[in-house]
Amino acid sequence: MMAAIQVASQQKSVLVLEKLPKIAAKLKATGGGRCNLSNTLSNEIFMSRFGREGRFMTPALEALDHKELQIFFNKLGVKTHAPDGFRIFPVGHDSMSIIKALKDEMEQLKIEVCCSQKVEALEHNEEHITAVKTQDNIYYSSNVIMASGGMGYPVLGAEGDGYPLAQSVGHKISAIHPAMMPLKTKELWGTNCRADTIAKVEMRVDIKKYKKLHAKGDLIFTKNGIRGPVVLDFSREITPLLAKFNEVPILMNLTKGMNEEEIREHFKKLQKKNSHITSLELINTLLPESVSLQLCKLANISNPKLTLKNISGINRDRLIKLLAWTPLTINGHDGFKLAMITRGGVLLKEINPNTMQSKKMKGLYFCGEVMNLDGPCGGYNLQWSFASGFLAGKLLKNH
Which of 294, 66, 281 has the alpha carbon at shortest distance from 193? Answer: 294
Average pLDDT over residues 337-343: 91
Is the pLDDT at 391 greater than 50, yes or no?
yes
- Label residue 125 by pLDDT band (50, 70, 90): very high
Average pLDDT over residues 120-126: 97
Q: Give the CA count within 13 Å in the CB-facing half-sphere of 83.
A: 8
Distance CA 153, CA 159 (A): 8
Element (H, E) at 220: strand 214-221
Looking at the DSSP bridge assignments, the partners of residue 332 are: 184
Domain ranges of the chain: 2-177+342-398, 182-333
Q: What are the tens digits of pLDDT across the range 241-298?
A: 999 999 999 999 999 999 999 999 999 999 999 999 999 999 999 999 999 999 999 9
Q: Within 10 Å of residue 342's Cβ, how many Cβ atoms?
A: 27
Instruction: Give 312: exposed, middle or buried? Use CB within 10 Å, 0-12, 13-18, 19+.
Output: exposed
* Superfamily of segment(s) 2-177+342-398: FAD/NAD(P)-binding domain (3.50.50.60)
Is the pLDDT at 398 greater than 80, yes or no?
no
Instruction: Give 100: exposed, middle or buried? Use CB within 10 Å, 0-12, 13-18, 19+.
Output: middle
**Angle of CA points 26, 35, 396, to nearest 5°:** 65
Q: What are the tens digits of pLDDT across the range 153-202?
A: 777 778 899 999 999 999 999 999 999 999 999 999 999 999 999 999 99
User: For residue 110, how far is the Cα from the chain centroid?
Assistant: 33
Is the pLDDT at 324 greater than 80, yes or no?
yes
Alpha-helical regions (H) of 9-79: 25-29, 43-48, 58-63, 66-75
pLDDT at 399: 46
Distances (CA, A) of 386 to 90, 103, 131: 15, 15, 25
Provide the mean pLDDT of the chain.
96
Distance CA 265, CA 243 (A): 41
Specify the pairing of strand 15-17 against strand 112-114. Answer: parallel
Percent of the chain topping pLDDT 90: 94
Q: Is 304 helix (H, G, I), strand (E, B) or coil?
A: coil
Distance CA 166, CA 176 (A): 14
Distance CA 53, CA 174 (A): 13
- Whether 329 contacts 182, CB under 8 Å: no
Element (H, E) at 260: helix 260-273
The single-letter code of the amino acid at 353 is P
List of E strands, the chain: 15-17, 38-39, 80-81, 87-90, 112-114, 119-124, 129-134, 138-140, 144-146, 177-179, 183-185, 197-205, 214-221, 225-227, 248-253, 326-332, 341-343, 364-366
Q: Within 10 Å of residue 382's Cβ, how many Cβ atoms?
A: 24
